[in-house]
Structure 1
Protein backbone atom coordinates (compact mmCIF):
# COMPACT_ATOMS: atom_id res chain seq x y z
CA UNK A 1 0.00 0.00 0.00
CA UNK A 2 1.42 3.42 -0.94
CA UNK A 3 2.58 5.42 2.04
CA UNK A 4 3.68 8.95 2.76
CA UNK A 5 0.24 10.52 3.27
CA UNK A 6 0.37 12.58 6.42
CA UNK A 7 -2.45 12.32 8.97
CA UNK A 8 -4.90 15.18 8.64
CA UNK A 9 -8.06 16.53 10.23
CA UNK A 10 -10.40 14.21 8.29
CA UNK A 11 -8.55 11.22 9.74
CA UNK A 12 -9.14 12.61 13.24
CA UNK A 13 -12.82 12.83 12.33
CA UNK A 14 -12.65 9.21 11.18
CA UNK A 15 -11.10 8.14 14.50
CA UNK A 16 -13.97 9.75 16.40
CA UNK A 17 -16.56 8.11 14.18
CA UNK A 18 -15.26 4.60 14.57
CA UNK A 19 -15.12 5.13 18.33
CA UNK A 20 -18.79 6.08 18.53
CA UNK A 21 -21.30 3.43 17.34
CA UNK A 22 -24.44 4.70 15.60
CA UNK A 23 -27.41 4.96 17.93
CA UNK A 24 -29.92 2.12 17.71
CA UNK A 25 -27.80 0.22 15.18
CA UNK A 26 -26.11 -3.11 15.70
CA UNK A 27 -23.50 -2.24 13.05
CA UNK A 28 -22.37 0.94 11.35
CA UNK A 29 -20.36 1.68 8.23
CA UNK A 30 -18.65 4.97 7.38
CA UNK A 31 -18.53 5.10 3.58
CA UNK A 32 -16.15 7.49 1.83
CA UNK A 33 -15.84 8.73 -1.74
CA UNK A 34 -13.78 11.49 -3.36
CA UNK A 35 -16.77 12.34 -5.58
CA UNK A 36 -19.09 15.30 -5.08
CA UNK A 37 -22.69 15.06 -3.91
CA UNK A 38 -24.11 15.68 -7.40
CA UNK A 39 -22.21 12.78 -8.98
CA UNK A 40 -24.42 9.86 -10.09
CA UNK A 41 -22.19 7.49 -8.10
CA UNK A 42 -22.76 9.45 -4.89
CA UNK A 43 -26.49 9.48 -5.56
CA UNK A 44 -26.24 5.72 -6.01
CA UNK A 45 -24.54 5.50 -2.63
CA UNK A 46 -27.47 7.38 -1.11
CA UNK A 47 -29.82 4.79 -2.61
CA UNK A 48 -27.53 2.02 -1.32
CA UNK A 49 -27.65 3.50 2.20
CA UNK A 50 -31.44 3.79 2.14
CA UNK A 51 -31.98 0.26 0.83
CA UNK A 52 -29.56 -1.37 3.27
CA UNK A 53 -31.02 0.45 6.26
CA UNK A 54 -34.57 -0.43 5.22
CA UNK A 55 -33.90 -4.10 4.48
CA UNK A 56 -31.82 -4.57 7.63
CA UNK A 57 -34.45 -2.79 9.76
CA UNK A 58 -31.66 -0.37 10.62
CA UNK A 59 -29.49 -3.04 12.15
CA UNK A 60 -26.91 -1.54 9.76
CA UNK A 61 -26.53 2.24 9.64
CA UNK A 62 -24.44 3.84 6.88
CA UNK A 63 -22.95 7.32 7.04
CA UNK A 64 -21.78 8.82 3.74
CA UNK A 65 -18.82 11.15 3.31
CA UNK A 66 -18.48 12.82 -0.12
CA UNK A 67 -15.60 14.87 -1.55
CA UNK A 68 -12.93 13.11 0.52
CA UNK A 69 -14.27 14.53 3.80
CA UNK A 70 -13.26 11.45 5.78
CA UNK A 71 -9.66 11.42 4.56
CA UNK A 72 -7.38 10.15 1.82
CA UNK A 73 -8.39 6.85 0.20
CA UNK A 74 -5.06 5.13 0.92
CA UNK A 75 -5.26 6.03 4.62
CA UNK A 76 -8.83 4.78 4.85
CA UNK A 77 -7.94 1.51 3.16
CA UNK A 78 -5.27 1.00 5.80
CA UNK A 79 -7.90 1.53 8.51
CA UNK A 80 -10.14 -1.01 6.77
CA UNK A 81 -7.28 -3.50 6.71
CA UNK A 82 -7.04 -3.19 10.48
CA UNK A 83 -10.73 -4.05 10.84
CA UNK A 84 -12.34 -0.62 11.15
CA UNK A 85 -15.92 -0.04 10.02
CA UNK A 86 -14.97 2.04 7.00
CA UNK A 87 -15.74 1.55 3.32
CA UNK A 88 -14.10 3.32 0.38
CA UNK A 89 -15.18 3.70 -3.24
CA UNK A 90 -11.96 3.03 -5.15
CA UNK A 91 -10.68 1.76 -8.47
CA UNK A 92 -8.50 -1.32 -8.68
CA UNK A 93 -5.23 0.58 -9.23
CA UNK A 94 -5.17 1.22 -5.46
CA UNK A 95 -5.49 -2.50 -4.78
CA UNK A 96 -2.94 -3.82 -7.27
CA UNK A 97 -0.12 -3.94 -4.72
CA UNK A 98 -1.95 -6.99 -3.33
CA UNK A 99 -3.15 -8.56 -6.60
CA UNK A 100 -1.07 -7.21 -9.52
CA UNK A 101 -3.59 -8.38 -12.13
CA UNK A 102 -6.06 -5.78 -10.86
CA UNK A 103 -4.00 -3.11 -12.64
CA UNK A 104 -5.43 -4.30 -15.95
CA UNK A 105 -8.86 -2.77 -15.21
CA UNK A 106 -7.60 0.84 -15.38
CA UNK A 107 -4.93 0.14 -18.01
CA UNK A 108 -5.30 2.31 -21.13
CA UNK A 109 -7.49 1.14 -24.03
CA UNK A 110 -7.96 -2.38 -22.63
CA UNK A 111 -11.77 -2.18 -22.49
CA UNK A 112 -13.67 -0.79 -25.47
CA UNK A 113 -16.69 0.32 -23.43
CA UNK A 114 -18.69 -0.06 -20.23
CA UNK A 115 -20.46 -3.23 -21.39
CA UNK A 116 -17.19 -5.11 -21.88
CA UNK A 117 -15.89 -4.06 -18.48
CA UNK A 118 -19.17 -4.89 -16.74
CA UNK A 119 -19.00 -8.34 -18.32
CA UNK A 120 -15.48 -8.88 -17.02
CA UNK A 121 -16.14 -7.86 -13.41
CA UNK A 122 -18.99 -10.41 -13.37
CA UNK A 123 -16.67 -13.21 -14.52
CA UNK A 124 -15.22 -16.09 -12.54
CA UNK A 125 -11.77 -14.73 -13.39
CA UNK A 126 -12.45 -11.46 -11.61
CA UNK A 127 -14.08 -13.21 -8.66
CA UNK A 128 -10.87 -15.20 -8.26
CA UNK A 129 -8.89 -11.97 -8.09
CA UNK A 130 -11.29 -10.64 -5.44
CA UNK A 131 -10.77 -13.79 -3.36
CA UNK A 132 -7.00 -13.38 -3.60
CA UNK A 133 -7.39 -9.73 -2.55
CA UNK A 134 -9.22 -10.78 0.62
CA UNK A 135 -6.48 -13.26 1.54
CA UNK A 136 -3.62 -10.89 0.75
CA UNK A 137 -5.00 -7.68 2.26
CA UNK A 138 -8.07 -8.28 4.41
CA UNK A 139 -10.06 -6.05 2.02
CA UNK A 140 -13.32 -7.18 0.39
CA UNK A 141 -15.40 -5.50 -2.33
CA UNK A 142 -19.13 -5.47 -1.58
CA UNK A 143 -19.40 -5.17 -5.36
CA UNK A 144 -17.12 -3.87 -8.11
CA UNK A 145 -19.66 -2.61 -10.65
CA UNK A 146 -19.76 1.14 -9.96
CA UNK A 147 -18.87 2.68 -13.34
CA UNK A 148 -17.66 6.27 -13.21
CA UNK A 149 -17.26 6.86 -16.94
CA UNK A 150 -14.73 7.17 -19.74
CA UNK A 151 -11.70 9.21 -18.73
CA UNK A 152 -10.67 12.12 -20.92
CA UNK A 153 -7.88 14.68 -21.04
CA UNK A 154 -8.64 18.01 -19.36
CA UNK A 155 -6.14 20.64 -20.48
CA UNK A 156 -5.58 24.36 -20.86
CA UNK A 157 -4.45 24.01 -24.50
CA UNK A 158 -5.83 21.84 -27.33
CA UNK A 159 -4.54 18.27 -27.52
CA UNK A 160 -4.65 16.39 -30.81
CA UNK A 161 -1.85 13.85 -30.37
CA UNK A 162 0.52 12.55 -27.68
CA UNK A 163 3.10 15.09 -28.86
CA UNK A 164 0.80 17.90 -27.66
CA UNK A 165 1.26 16.68 -24.07
CA UNK A 166 5.05 16.86 -24.24
CA UNK A 167 6.22 18.69 -21.11
CA UNK A 168 2.68 19.00 -19.74
CA UNK A 169 2.36 18.12 -16.04
CA UNK A 170 -0.69 15.87 -15.63
CA UNK A 171 -2.24 14.90 -12.31
CA UNK A 172 -1.90 11.17 -11.66
CA UNK A 173 -3.02 8.69 -9.06
CA UNK A 174 0.00 7.33 -7.20
CA UNK A 175 -0.14 3.91 -8.84
CA UNK A 176 2.17 2.37 -11.47
CA UNK A 177 -0.58 1.83 -14.06
CA UNK A 178 -1.69 5.46 -13.84
CA UNK A 179 1.87 6.76 -14.00
CA UNK A 180 2.56 4.68 -17.12
CA UNK A 181 -0.73 5.76 -18.67
CA UNK A 182 0.09 9.45 -18.33
CA UNK A 183 3.53 8.80 -19.80
CA UNK A 184 2.22 6.91 -22.83
CA UNK A 185 -0.37 9.62 -23.47
CA UNK A 186 2.59 12.00 -23.74
CA UNK A 187 2.44 13.84 -20.40
CA UNK A 188 4.56 14.11 -17.27
CA UNK A 189 2.73 12.43 -14.35
CA UNK A 190 2.47 14.30 -11.05
CA UNK A 191 1.04 12.15 -8.20
CA UNK A 192 -1.64 14.16 -6.44
CA UNK A 193 -4.78 13.55 -4.39
CA UNK A 194 -7.97 14.29 -6.32
CA UNK A 195 -9.12 16.71 -3.61
CA UNK A 196 -6.13 18.92 -4.44
CA UNK A 197 -6.67 19.05 -8.20
CA UNK A 198 -8.61 22.34 -8.48
CA UNK A 199 -6.15 24.42 -6.49
CA UNK A 200 -3.20 22.66 -8.15
CA UNK A 201 -4.48 23.59 -11.60
CA UNK A 202 -4.98 27.15 -10.41
CA UNK A 203 -1.46 27.49 -9.04
CA UNK A 204 0.33 25.58 -11.80
CA UNK A 205 1.44 22.61 -9.74
CA UNK A 206 -0.11 20.65 -12.59
CA UNK A 207 -1.14 21.80 -16.06
CA UNK A 208 -3.75 19.17 -16.82
CA UNK A 209 -5.74 16.22 -15.56
CA UNK A 210 -7.48 13.15 -16.91
CA UNK A 211 -10.92 12.37 -15.62
CA UNK A 212 -14.44 11.29 -16.50
CA UNK A 213 -17.06 13.97 -17.33
CA UNK A 214 -18.96 13.60 -14.05
CA UNK A 215 -15.77 14.22 -12.04
CA UNK A 216 -14.69 17.14 -14.23
CA UNK A 217 -18.08 18.75 -13.75
CA UNK A 218 -18.40 17.91 -10.05
CA UNK A 219 -14.96 19.35 -9.28
CA UNK A 220 -15.58 22.38 -11.52
CA UNK A 221 -12.35 21.83 -13.46
CA UNK A 222 -14.04 23.35 -16.51
CA UNK A 223 -13.73 26.73 -14.78
CA UNK A 224 -9.93 26.54 -15.17
CA UNK A 225 -9.18 24.13 -18.02
CA UNK A 226 -11.03 24.96 -21.21
CA UNK A 227 -10.25 21.90 -23.33
CA UNK A 228 -11.63 18.37 -22.98
CA UNK A 229 -10.25 15.76 -25.37
CA UNK A 230 -12.49 12.69 -25.65
CA UNK A 231 -9.83 9.99 -25.59
CA UNK A 232 -11.78 7.66 -23.27
CA UNK A 233 -8.43 5.97 -22.66
CA UNK A 234 -9.74 4.33 -19.47
CA UNK A 235 -13.22 3.15 -18.60
CA UNK A 236 -13.22 3.68 -14.86
CA UNK A 237 -14.86 0.87 -12.90
CA UNK A 238 -14.82 1.14 -9.13
CA UNK A 239 -16.01 -0.84 -6.12
CA UNK A 240 -17.13 -0.41 -2.53
CA UNK A 241 -14.25 -1.91 -0.55
CA UNK A 242 -14.61 -2.76 3.14
CA UNK A 243 -12.79 -4.63 5.88
CA UNK A 244 -13.11 -8.41 5.65
CA UNK A 245 -12.79 -8.58 9.45
CA UNK A 246 -15.63 -6.09 9.92
CA UNK A 247 -17.83 -7.76 7.30
CA UNK A 248 -17.37 -11.20 8.88
CA UNK A 249 -18.50 -9.79 12.23
CA UNK A 250 -21.98 -9.35 10.74
CA UNK A 251 -24.57 -12.14 10.57
CA UNK A 252 -24.77 -13.78 7.14
CA UNK A 253 -28.19 -12.28 6.43
CA UNK A 254 -26.82 -8.76 6.85
CA UNK A 255 -23.77 -9.53 4.72
CA UNK A 256 -26.11 -10.74 1.99
CA UNK A 257 -28.06 -7.48 2.13
CA UNK A 258 -24.88 -5.43 1.75
CA UNK A 259 -23.68 -7.47 -1.22
CA UNK A 260 -27.11 -7.54 -2.89
CA UNK A 261 -27.72 -3.83 -2.61
CA UNK A 262 -24.16 -2.88 -3.59
CA UNK A 263 -24.61 -4.92 -6.77
CA UNK A 264 -28.09 -3.59 -7.52
CA UNK A 265 -27.39 0.06 -6.80
CA UNK A 266 -24.03 -0.09 -8.57
CA UNK A 267 -25.71 -1.13 -11.80
CA UNK A 268 -28.35 1.58 -11.47
CA UNK A 269 -25.75 4.27 -10.72
CA UNK A 270 -23.66 3.11 -13.67
CA UNK A 271 -26.59 3.58 -16.03
CA UNK A 272 -27.15 7.05 -14.62
CA UNK A 273 -23.47 7.82 -15.23
CA UNK A 274 -23.82 6.77 -18.88
CA UNK A 275 -26.85 9.05 -19.27
CA UNK A 276 -25.09 11.99 -17.63
CA UNK A 277 -21.85 11.89 -19.63
CA UNK A 278 -23.18 13.53 -22.79
CA UNK A 279 -25.42 15.91 -20.85
CA UNK A 280 -22.49 17.21 -18.82
CA UNK A 281 -20.18 17.48 -21.82
CA UNK A 282 -22.87 19.57 -23.52
CA UNK A 283 -23.30 21.73 -20.42
CA UNK A 284 -19.56 22.35 -20.18
CA UNK A 285 -19.42 23.17 -23.90
CA UNK A 286 -22.15 25.76 -23.36
CA UNK A 287 -20.02 27.31 -20.61
CA UNK A 288 -17.17 27.87 -23.06
CA UNK A 289 -15.22 24.61 -22.90
CA UNK A 290 -14.00 23.11 -26.16
CA UNK A 291 -15.07 19.45 -26.17
CA UNK A 292 -12.92 17.89 -28.87
CA UNK A 293 -13.24 14.60 -30.72
CA UNK A 294 -9.88 13.31 -31.96
CA UNK A 295 -8.42 10.27 -33.66
CA UNK A 296 -7.46 8.08 -30.71
CA UNK A 297 -5.36 5.71 -32.82
CA UNK A 298 -2.05 7.53 -32.05
CA UNK A 299 -2.83 7.43 -28.31
CA UNK A 300 -3.85 3.79 -28.49
CA UNK A 301 -0.66 2.89 -30.35
CA UNK A 302 1.51 4.84 -27.90
CA UNK A 303 -0.08 3.00 -24.95
CA UNK A 304 -0.03 -0.49 -26.43
CA UNK A 305 3.09 -1.48 -24.48
CA UNK A 306 1.76 -0.55 -21.01
CA UNK A 307 0.51 -4.06 -20.10
CA UNK A 308 3.88 -5.56 -21.05
CA UNK A 309 5.79 -2.89 -19.07
CA UNK A 310 3.77 -3.78 -15.98
CA UNK A 311 3.94 -7.54 -16.47
CA UNK A 312 0.23 -7.77 -17.24
CA UNK A 313 0.34 -9.83 -20.44
CA UNK A 314 -1.41 -12.81 -18.80
CA UNK A 315 -4.03 -10.56 -17.19
CA UNK A 316 -4.67 -8.90 -20.54
CA UNK A 317 -5.11 -12.31 -22.18
CA UNK A 318 -7.62 -13.30 -19.49
CA UNK A 319 -9.59 -10.10 -20.03
CA UNK A 320 -9.64 -10.59 -23.79
CA UNK A 321 -10.76 -14.20 -23.36
CA UNK A 322 -13.73 -13.18 -21.19
CA UNK A 323 -14.75 -10.35 -23.53
CA UNK A 324 -14.55 -12.64 -26.57
CA UNK A 325 -16.95 -15.21 -25.12
CA UNK A 326 -20.50 -15.07 -26.41
Structure 2
Protein backbone atom coordinates (compact mmCIF):
# COMPACT_ATOMS: atom_id res chain seq x y z
CA UNK A 1 0.00 0.00 0.00
CA UNK A 2 1.60 3.22 -1.14
CA UNK A 3 2.02 6.39 0.86
CA UNK A 4 -0.03 8.25 -1.75
CA UNK A 5 -2.95 5.80 -1.28
CA UNK A 6 -2.82 6.14 2.51
CA UNK A 7 -2.83 9.92 2.23
CA UNK A 8 -5.83 9.86 -0.12
CA UNK A 9 -7.75 7.57 2.24
CA UNK A 10 -6.99 9.82 5.21
CA UNK A 11 -8.21 12.90 3.33
CA UNK A 12 -11.42 11.12 2.31
CA UNK A 13 -12.06 10.06 5.90
CA UNK A 14 -11.48 13.61 7.12
CA UNK A 15 -13.96 14.96 4.56
CA UNK A 16 -16.60 12.44 5.71
CA UNK A 17 -16.14 13.34 9.38
CA UNK A 18 -16.05 17.11 8.89
CA UNK A 19 -18.87 17.47 6.35
CA UNK A 20 -21.63 19.63 7.83
CA UNK A 21 -24.82 17.77 8.78
CA UNK A 22 -27.97 18.57 6.85
CA UNK A 23 -30.61 20.68 8.56
CA UNK A 24 -33.66 18.76 9.68
CA UNK A 25 -37.08 20.16 8.76
CA UNK A 26 -40.19 19.54 10.85
CA UNK A 27 -43.65 19.68 9.26
CA UNK A 28 -46.19 21.85 11.13
CA UNK A 29 -49.82 21.09 10.21
CA UNK A 30 -52.18 24.05 10.49
CA UNK A 31 -55.84 23.67 9.52
CA UNK A 32 -56.36 27.45 9.57
CA UNK A 33 -55.93 29.73 6.57
CA UNK A 34 -52.52 31.39 6.10
CA UNK A 35 -54.24 34.73 6.78
CA UNK A 36 -55.39 33.70 10.26
CA UNK A 37 -53.82 35.97 12.92
CA UNK A 38 -52.23 32.96 14.62
CA UNK A 39 -49.92 32.37 11.67
CA UNK A 40 -48.11 35.71 11.85
CA UNK A 41 -48.62 36.16 15.58
CA UNK A 42 -47.65 32.76 16.98
CA UNK A 43 -46.82 30.01 14.45
CA UNK A 44 -44.23 31.76 12.29
CA UNK A 45 -42.49 33.28 15.34
CA UNK A 46 -42.32 29.75 16.79
CA UNK A 47 -40.62 28.51 13.61
CA UNK A 48 -38.27 31.50 13.60
CA UNK A 49 -37.33 30.95 17.26
CA UNK A 50 -36.49 27.28 16.65
CA UNK A 51 -34.30 28.10 13.64
CA UNK A 52 -32.51 30.88 15.51
CA UNK A 53 -31.86 28.82 18.65
CA UNK A 54 -30.44 25.92 16.64
CA UNK A 55 -28.53 28.11 14.16
CA UNK A 56 -30.54 26.60 11.33
CA UNK A 57 -29.84 22.97 12.22
CA UNK A 58 -33.54 22.45 12.94
CA UNK A 59 -36.27 24.25 11.01
CA UNK A 60 -40.05 24.24 11.03
CA UNK A 61 -42.11 24.54 7.86
CA UNK A 62 -45.73 25.64 8.16
CA UNK A 63 -48.35 23.83 6.08
CA UNK A 64 -51.34 26.17 6.33
CA UNK A 65 -54.93 25.77 5.22
CA UNK A 66 -55.04 22.02 5.84
CA UNK A 67 -52.32 21.19 3.30
CA UNK A 68 -51.45 18.04 5.23
CA UNK A 69 -55.09 17.10 5.64
CA UNK A 70 -58.20 19.11 6.39
CA UNK A 71 -60.22 19.00 9.57
CA UNK A 72 -59.22 20.45 12.95
CA UNK A 73 -60.41 17.35 14.80
CA UNK A 74 -57.95 15.09 12.95
CA UNK A 75 -54.79 17.10 13.68
CA UNK A 76 -53.98 15.33 16.96
CA UNK A 77 -54.13 11.92 15.24
CA UNK A 78 -51.91 13.16 12.42
CA UNK A 79 -49.19 13.94 14.95
CA UNK A 80 -49.63 10.62 16.77
CA UNK A 81 -49.39 8.76 13.43
CA UNK A 82 -46.40 10.81 12.22
CA UNK A 83 -48.11 12.42 9.22
CA UNK A 84 -46.80 15.70 10.64
CA UNK A 85 -44.21 16.28 13.35
CA UNK A 86 -46.17 19.23 14.75
CA UNK A 87 -49.80 20.36 14.63
CA UNK A 88 -52.16 22.93 16.10
CA UNK A 89 -55.55 21.86 17.41
CA UNK A 90 -57.93 22.12 20.36
CA UNK A 91 -58.15 19.47 23.10
CA UNK A 92 -61.94 19.85 22.91
CA UNK A 93 -62.01 18.19 19.49
CA UNK A 94 -60.70 14.95 21.02
CA UNK A 95 -62.23 15.50 24.44
CA UNK A 96 -62.02 11.92 25.69
CA UNK A 97 -58.21 12.18 25.66
CA UNK A 98 -58.05 15.37 27.72
CA UNK A 99 -60.61 15.43 30.56
CA UNK A 100 -58.22 17.21 32.95
CA UNK A 101 -57.05 19.80 30.42
CA UNK A 102 -60.67 20.57 29.59
CA UNK A 103 -61.42 21.50 33.20
CA UNK A 104 -59.79 24.80 32.20
CA UNK A 105 -62.77 25.41 29.88
CA UNK A 106 -65.33 25.60 32.65
CA UNK A 107 -66.82 28.98 33.52
CA UNK A 108 -64.77 30.79 36.14
CA UNK A 109 -61.84 28.34 36.14
CA UNK A 110 -59.32 30.63 34.40
CA UNK A 111 -59.30 34.30 33.58
CA UNK A 112 -59.30 35.39 29.93
CA UNK A 113 -56.30 37.67 30.47
CA UNK A 114 -54.12 35.34 32.59
CA UNK A 115 -55.41 31.89 31.70
CA UNK A 116 -52.24 30.63 30.04
CA UNK A 117 -50.05 31.34 33.06
CA UNK A 118 -52.66 29.68 35.29
CA UNK A 119 -52.70 26.55 33.13
CA UNK A 120 -48.91 26.20 33.02
CA UNK A 121 -48.66 26.65 36.78
CA UNK A 122 -50.67 23.42 37.14
CA UNK A 123 -49.04 21.50 34.30
CA UNK A 124 -47.93 18.72 36.68
CA UNK A 125 -51.61 17.79 37.01
CA UNK A 126 -52.12 17.62 33.24
CA UNK A 127 -48.91 15.93 32.06
CA UNK A 128 -50.35 12.41 32.11
CA UNK A 129 -52.74 13.29 29.28
CA UNK A 130 -49.87 13.90 26.84
CA UNK A 131 -48.17 10.50 27.00
CA UNK A 132 -48.77 9.79 23.28
CA UNK A 133 -47.28 13.11 22.13
CA UNK A 134 -44.95 15.82 23.35
CA UNK A 135 -46.80 18.92 24.49
CA UNK A 136 -45.14 21.98 22.93
CA UNK A 137 -47.65 24.78 23.63
CA UNK A 138 -50.92 25.17 25.49
CA UNK A 139 -52.85 28.39 25.92
CA UNK A 140 -56.32 29.65 26.77
CA UNK A 141 -58.37 31.54 24.24
CA UNK A 142 -60.61 34.52 24.59
CA UNK A 143 -63.99 33.64 26.07
CA UNK A 144 -66.62 32.06 23.87
CA UNK A 145 -69.53 34.37 23.02
CA UNK A 146 -72.79 33.60 21.26
CA UNK A 147 -73.20 34.44 17.56
CA UNK A 148 -76.77 34.15 16.23
CA UNK A 149 -78.18 34.71 12.77
CA UNK A 150 -81.83 35.71 13.19
CA UNK A 151 -82.72 35.81 16.87
CA UNK A 152 -81.34 38.32 19.32
CA UNK A 153 -80.58 36.56 22.61
CA UNK A 154 -80.84 38.66 25.77
CA UNK A 155 -81.63 35.97 28.37
CA UNK A 156 -81.25 32.20 28.79
CA UNK A 157 -84.97 31.78 28.05
CA UNK A 158 -84.34 33.03 24.50
CA UNK A 159 -82.12 30.02 23.80
CA UNK A 160 -84.80 27.40 24.36
CA UNK A 161 -84.82 25.02 21.39
CA UNK A 162 -82.15 26.89 19.42
CA UNK A 163 -79.50 24.80 17.65
CA UNK A 164 -76.13 26.13 18.79
CA UNK A 165 -72.73 25.03 17.50
CA UNK A 166 -70.36 24.18 20.34
CA UNK A 167 -66.57 23.61 20.23
CA UNK A 168 -66.49 21.00 23.01
CA UNK A 169 -68.51 18.79 25.31
CA UNK A 170 -68.26 21.28 28.18
CA UNK A 171 -69.70 24.09 26.06
CA UNK A 172 -72.43 21.67 25.02
CA UNK A 173 -73.35 21.10 28.66
CA UNK A 174 -73.55 24.85 29.15
CA UNK A 175 -75.87 25.26 26.14
CA UNK A 176 -78.03 22.39 27.43
CA UNK A 177 -78.30 24.16 30.79
CA UNK A 178 -79.66 27.14 28.84
CA UNK A 179 -82.17 24.71 27.23
CA UNK A 180 -80.59 25.02 23.81
CA UNK A 181 -79.59 22.11 21.55
CA UNK A 182 -75.80 21.78 21.19
CA UNK A 183 -74.39 20.80 17.80
CA UNK A 184 -70.78 19.60 17.67
CA UNK A 185 -69.07 21.10 14.63
CA UNK A 186 -65.51 22.13 13.64
CA UNK A 187 -64.92 25.81 13.15
CA UNK A 188 -64.43 25.41 9.40
CA UNK A 189 -68.11 24.42 8.96
CA UNK A 190 -69.77 27.21 10.99
CA UNK A 191 -70.07 29.77 8.19
CA UNK A 192 -72.08 27.56 5.84
CA UNK A 193 -74.15 26.04 8.63
CA UNK A 194 -75.14 29.46 9.94
CA UNK A 195 -75.77 30.85 6.46
CA UNK A 196 -78.07 27.98 5.48
CA UNK A 197 -79.92 27.82 8.80
CA UNK A 198 -78.58 24.39 9.72
CA UNK A 199 -77.76 25.99 13.07
CA UNK A 200 -79.25 29.06 14.74
CA UNK A 201 -76.07 30.22 16.39
CA UNK A 202 -72.51 29.35 17.42
CA UNK A 203 -70.42 29.55 20.55
CA UNK A 204 -66.96 30.81 19.58
CA UNK A 205 -64.69 33.68 20.54
CA UNK A 206 -64.66 37.09 18.87
CA UNK A 207 -61.77 36.28 16.51
CA UNK A 208 -64.35 34.51 14.35
CA UNK A 209 -65.84 37.84 13.22
CA UNK A 210 -62.97 38.29 10.78
CA UNK A 211 -60.84 35.13 10.87
CA UNK A 212 -63.81 32.93 9.89
CA UNK A 213 -65.96 35.76 8.45
CA UNK A 214 -68.90 35.15 10.78
CA UNK A 215 -69.59 38.88 10.68
CA UNK A 216 -71.06 38.19 7.23
CA UNK A 217 -73.62 35.60 8.33
CA UNK A 218 -74.41 36.47 11.97
CA UNK A 219 -76.48 39.49 12.93
CA UNK A 220 -76.24 39.34 16.71
CA UNK A 221 -73.58 38.68 19.36
CA UNK A 222 -74.45 38.06 23.01
CA UNK A 223 -71.69 38.46 25.59
CA UNK A 224 -71.39 39.35 29.25
CA UNK A 225 -72.16 35.90 30.71
CA UNK A 226 -69.50 33.69 32.28
CA UNK A 227 -68.88 31.09 29.63
CA UNK A 228 -66.29 28.57 28.46
CA UNK A 229 -62.73 29.41 27.39
CA UNK A 230 -61.42 26.88 24.86
CA UNK A 231 -57.73 25.95 25.18
CA UNK A 232 -55.51 25.43 22.12
CA UNK A 233 -52.38 23.33 21.88
CA UNK A 234 -49.41 22.58 19.67
CA UNK A 235 -48.32 18.95 19.99
CA UNK A 236 -45.33 17.10 18.54
CA UNK A 237 -44.83 13.50 17.52
CA UNK A 238 -43.27 11.75 20.51
CA UNK A 239 -40.66 9.81 18.54
CA UNK A 240 -39.65 12.83 16.46
CA UNK A 241 -39.07 14.81 19.64
CA UNK A 242 -37.24 11.94 21.31
CA UNK A 243 -34.80 11.61 18.41
CA UNK A 244 -33.63 15.22 18.72
CA UNK A 245 -30.42 16.18 20.53
CA UNK A 246 -30.98 17.74 23.94
CA UNK A 247 -30.13 21.23 22.70
CA UNK A 248 -32.77 21.01 19.97
CA UNK A 249 -35.35 19.67 22.41
CA UNK A 250 -34.64 22.68 24.61
CA UNK A 251 -35.09 24.98 21.60
CA UNK A 252 -38.49 23.43 20.81
CA UNK A 253 -39.63 23.73 24.41
CA UNK A 254 -38.51 27.35 24.82
CA UNK A 255 -40.07 28.39 21.51
CA UNK A 256 -43.24 26.51 22.43
CA UNK A 257 -43.62 28.23 25.76
CA UNK A 258 -43.25 31.61 24.05
CA UNK A 259 -45.79 30.51 21.44
CA UNK A 260 -48.23 29.87 24.30
CA UNK A 261 -47.90 33.47 25.45
CA UNK A 262 -48.06 34.76 21.88
CA UNK A 263 -51.13 32.64 21.14
CA UNK A 264 -53.09 34.00 24.07
CA UNK A 265 -52.09 37.58 23.26
CA UNK A 266 -53.26 37.15 19.67
CA UNK A 267 -56.53 35.57 20.79
CA UNK A 268 -57.52 38.18 23.35
CA UNK A 269 -56.47 41.15 21.19
CA UNK A 270 -58.06 39.96 17.95
CA UNK A 271 -61.23 38.80 19.71
CA UNK A 272 -61.78 42.22 21.28
CA UNK A 273 -61.12 43.93 17.94
CA UNK A 274 -63.53 41.54 16.21
CA UNK A 275 -66.40 42.26 18.58
CA UNK A 276 -65.77 45.99 18.29
CA UNK A 277 -65.78 45.73 14.49
CA UNK A 278 -68.99 43.68 14.57
CA UNK A 279 -70.74 46.34 16.68
CA UNK A 280 -69.80 48.97 14.11
CA UNK A 281 -71.29 47.04 11.18
CA UNK A 282 -74.69 48.32 9.92
CA UNK A 283 -77.63 46.33 11.20
CA UNK A 284 -75.72 44.33 13.78
CA UNK A 285 -76.63 43.99 17.45
Shift of 1:233: 0.9
Work out the number of aligned pairs and report it.
Answer: 261
Which residue does 1:31 correspond to in 2?
Answer: 29
Tell me the C-alpha RMSD between the 2 structures: 2.3
Distance in 1 (alpha carbons) for counterparts of 2:56 and 2:244 = 13
User: Would the aligned equivalents of 1:80 and 1:242 in 2 still touch at CA under 8 Å?
Assistant: yes
- Aligned counterpart, 1:86: 85
- Alignment pair present for 1:225 and 2:222: no
Partner of 1:133: 129
Write the deviation string for residues 35-62 of structure 1: whole angstroms up to 9, x where unpaired.
6624246521111112212222332232
Q: Secondary structure at the match of 1:235?
A: coil
Name the counterpart of 1:18: none
Counterpart secondary structure, 1:201: helix
Distance 2:24 2:38 in 1: 29
Residue 288 (structure 1) aligned with residue 285 (structure 2): no
The secondary structure found in structure 1 opposite 2:227 is: strand
- Give the match for residue 191 of structure 1: 184
Q: 1:30 to 1:36 in 2, by over 3 A?
A: closer
Cα distance between partner residues in 2 of 1:50 and 1:256: 15
- CA deviation after TM superposition for structure 1 residue 242, in Å: 1.7
Q: Could you say what secondary structure the match of 2:110 adopts?
A: coil
1:220-299 alignment to 2 at 5 Å? 220-230=213-223, 231=225, 233-288=227-282, 290-291=284-285
Q: Which runs of 5+ in 1 are unaligned?
A: 1-23, 292-326
**Alignment deviations for residues 219-261 of structure 1 (CA, whole Å, 9 cap, x no partner):** 1111111111113512233221122122112111111111101
Which SS does the other structure have where 2:239 is aligned?
helix
Indicate the SS of the match to 2:234.
strand
Structure 2-normalised TM-score? 0.81
Instruction: Give, in whole Å, the separation in 1 of the partners of 2:246 and 2:26.
Output: 16
Q: 8 Å contact 2:86–2:235 — kept in the other structure?
A: yes
Task: Tell me if structure 2 keeps the 8 A contact 1:143–1:240.
Answer: yes
Aligned equivalents of 1:26 and 1:36: distance in 2? Answer: 23
* Equivalence for 2:11: none
Correspondence list, 1:100-249, <5 A = 100-115=99-114, 117-123=115-121, 125-130=122-127, 132-135=128-131, 138-145=132-139, 147-156=140-149, 157-173=151-167, 175-230=168-223, 231=225, 233-249=227-243
Q: Quick one: distance in 2 between partners of 1:107 and 1:207?
A: 23
2:159–2:179 contact (8 Å) kept in structure 1: yes
SS of structure 1 residue aligned to 2:221: strand
Q: 1:68 to 1:109 in 2, by over 3 A?
A: farther
| Larger mean Cα displacement after TM superposition, 229-238 or 210-219 | 229-238
With over 3 angstroms needed to count, the CA separation of the structure-2 counterparts of 1:184 and 1:39, relative to structure 1, is: farther
Q: What is the distance in 2 between the residues matched to 1:65 and 1:289?
A: 37
Whether contact under 8 Å (1:32, 1:86) holds in the other structure is no
Kept in 2, the 8 Å contact 1:170–1:207? The answer is yes
Is the 8 Å Cα contact of residues 133 and 140 (structure 1) preserved in structure 2?
A: no
